[in-house]
Structure 1
Amino acid sequence: MDINTLEDEVFALSSSSGKKYNLPEIKGTLGPKGIDIRKLYAESDLVAYDPGLGNTGSCESKITFIDGDKGVLLYRGYPIEQLSENASFPEISYLLLNGELPTEGQLATFDGQLKSHTMLHEQIRNFFNGFRRDAHPMAMLCGTVGGLSAFYHDRLDISKAEDRELSALRLIAKMPTIAAWAHSYSQGYPFAYPRNDLGFSENFIHMLFSRPSENYKVNPVLARAMDRILILHADHEQNASTSTVRLAGSTGANPFACIASGIAALWGPAHGGANEAVLRMLGQIGDVKNIPAFIQKVKNKEDGVKLMGFGHRVYKNFDPRAKIMQRTCQEVLGELDIKHEPLLELAVELERIALADDYFVSRKLYPNVDFYSGIILKAMGIPTSMFTVLFAVARTGGWVAQWKEMIEQPGQRISRPRQIYIGAPKRDFVAINQRG
Structure 2
Amino acid sequence: MGRSLESAASDNTLSVRDNRTGKTYTIPIEDNSISATAFKAISAPKAKGEREENETEKGLRVQDKGFLNTAVLRSKITYIDGDAGILRYRGYPIEQLALQSSHLETAYLLIYGSLPTSAQYKVFQGEVMHHSVVHADAEQFFRSFRYDAHPMAILTSALAYLGSYYSEANPSLQGQNLFTKGDAASLAIIDKQIFRLIGKATTLAAMAYRVRQGRDFVTPPTGLSYTGSFLYQMDHLGETDYKPNPVLEKALDVLFLIHADHELNASATTVLQTGSSLVDPYSAVAAGCASLYGPLHGGANEAVIRMLISIGRPGNVPAFIEAVKKREKVLSGFGHRVYKTSDPRSFIVRKMADEVFEVTGKDELLETAMALHEAAMKDEYFVKRKLAPNVDFWSGLIYRAMGFPLDFFPVLFAVPRVVGWLAHWRQMMLQDGGVKIWRPRQIYVGAPKRDYVTMEQRVPVEGLRETPSAVAHSGISKRTMLASFKGKAKL
> Contact 2:232 / 2:244 at 8 angstroms: preserved in 1?
yes
Give runs of aligned pairs for residues 183-202 of structure 1, distance below 5 A.
Answer: 183-202=209-228
- 1:76 aligned onto 2:90: yes
> Contact 2:228 / 2:243 at 8 angstroms: preserved in 1?
no
Give me the CA root mean square deviation. Answer: 1.5
- 1:12 aligned onto 2:23: no
Counterpart of 2:215, as a letter, is: Y
- 1:312 aligned onto 2:336: yes
Give runs of aligned pairs for residues 147-158 of structure 1, distance below 5 A.
Answer: 147-156=161-170, 157-158=178-179
Report which stretch shifted further, 175-184 or 200-209: 200-209
Q: Deviations over 1:34-56 (max 9, x none)?
A: 11122433653111000001110
- 1:251 aligned onto 2:272: no
Could you tell me which of 334, 359, 362 is aligned with 1:335?
359
Shift of 1:148: 1.1
Match of 1:418 in 2: 441
SS of match in other structure, 2:66 = helix
Give runs of aligned pairs for residues 23-422 of structure 1, distance below 5 A.
Answer: 23-27=27-31, 33-41=32-40, 44=43, 45-156=59-170, 157-159=178-180, 160-212=186-238, 216-301=242-327, 303=328, 305-336=329-360, 338-339=361-362, 341-411=363-433, 412-422=435-445
Distance in 2 (CA, whole Å) between partners of 1:417 and 1:283 is: 41
Normalising by structure 1, we get a TM-score of 0.94
Distance in 2 (CA, whole Å) between partners of 1:350 and 1:433 is: 61
Counterpart of 2:437, as a letter, is: I
Distance in 1 (CA, whole Å) between partners of 2:407 and 2:369 is: 20
Distance in 2 (CA, whole Å) between partners of 1:353 and 1:23 is: 48
Shift of 1:272: 0.4
Distance in 1 (CA, whole Å) between partners of 2:115 and 2:93 is: 13
Distance in 2 (CA, whole Å) between partners of 1:246 and 1:141 is: 19
> Contact 1:6 / 1:12 at 8 angstroms: preserved in 2?
no
Could you tell me which of 19, 23, 26 is aligned with 1:22?
26
Distance in 1 (CA, whole Å) between partners of 2:388 and 2:251 is: 22
Shift of 1:6: 9.3
Distance in 1 (CA, whole Å) between partners of 2:376 and 2:10 is: 46
> Contact 1:68 / 1:316 at 8 angstroms: preserved in 2?
yes
Counterpart of 1:202, as a letter, is: G
> Contact 2:169 / 2:280 at 8 angstroms: preserved in 1?
no
> Contact 1:325 / 1:372 at 8 angstroms: preserved in 2?
yes
Q: Deviations over 1:361-392 (max 9, x none)?
A: 11111000000101111111111111101101
Shift of 1:151: 0.9
Counterpart of 2:438, as a letter, is: S
Distance in 1 (CA, whole Å) between partners of 2:18 and 2:137 is: 61
Distance in 2 (CA, whole Å) between partners of 1:431 and 1:194 is: 64
Report which stretch shifted further, 33-42 or 217-226: 33-42
Distance in 1 (CA, whole Å) between partners of 2:308 and 2:340 is: 23
Q: Deviations over 1:141-163 (max 9, x none)?
A: 01110011111223443231111
SS of match in other structure, 1:51 = coil
Counterpart of 1:315, as a letter, is: Y
Q: Sequence identity, in percent?
A: 45
SS of match in other structure, 1:20 = strand
Count of residue correspondences: 423
Shift of 1:289: 0.6
Shift of 1:60: 0.6
Counterpart of 1:314, as a letter, is: V
Counterpart of 1:432, as a letter, is: M
Q: Deviations over 1:404-432 (max 9, x none)?
A: 00111122311000000010011122222
Report which stretch shifted further, 394-403 or 150-159: 150-159
Shift of 1:213: 5.2
> Contact 1:158 / 1:254 at 8 angstroms: preserved in 2?
no
Counterpart of 1:320, as a letter, is: P
Shift of 1:192: 1.3
Counterpart of 2:23, as a letter, is: K
**Could you say if the C-alpha distance between residues 6 and 278 of structure 1 is closer, same or farther in structure 2, counting changes exceeding 3 Å?**
same
Counterpart of 2:338, as a letter, is: V
Counterpart of 1:13, as a letter, is: V
Distance in 1 (CA, whole Å) between partners of 2:216 and 2:187 is: 37
Distance in 2 (CA, whole Å) between partners of 1:22 and 1:133 is: 62
**Could you say if the C-alpha distance between residues 155 and 426 of structure 1 is closer, same or farther in structure 2, counting changes exceeding 3 Å?**
closer
Report which stretch shifted further, 17-26 or 256-265: 17-26
Counterpart of 2:30, as a letter, is: I
Shift of 1:193: 1.3
Q: Deviations over 1:56-93 (max 9, x none)?
A: 00111000000000000000000000000100111011
Distance in 2 (CA, whole Å) between partners of 1:192 and 1:76 is: 35
Q: Deviations over 1:157-177 (max 9, x none)?
A: 323111111111111110000
Shift of 1:331: 0.6
> Contact 2:18 / 2:42 at 8 angstroms: preserved in 1?
no
**Could you say if the C-alpha distance between residues 120 and 42 of structure 1 is closer, same or farther in structure 2, counting changes exceeding 3 Å?**
farther
Report which stretch shifted further, 216-225 or 64-73: 216-225
Counterpart of 2:446, as a letter, is: G
Report which stretch shifted further, 83-92 or 8-17: 8-17
Distance in 2 (CA, whole Å) between partners of 1:102 and 1:206 is: 26
Q: Deviations over 1:241-295 (max 9, x none)?
A: 0000000111000000000000000000000000000000000000011011111
> Contact 1:26 / 1:35 at 8 angstroms: preserved in 2?
yes
> Which structure has the larger Rg over C-alpha atoms?
2
**Structure 1 gap ranges (5+):** 28-32
Q: Deviations over 1:204-233 (max 9, x none)?
A: 111111112565321111111000110110
Q: Deviations over 1:170-189 (max 9, x none)?
A: 11110000000000011101
SS of match in other structure, 1:35 = coil
**Could you say if the C-alpha distance between residues 307 and 21 of structure 1 is closer, same or farther in structure 2, counting changes exceeding 3 Å?**
same
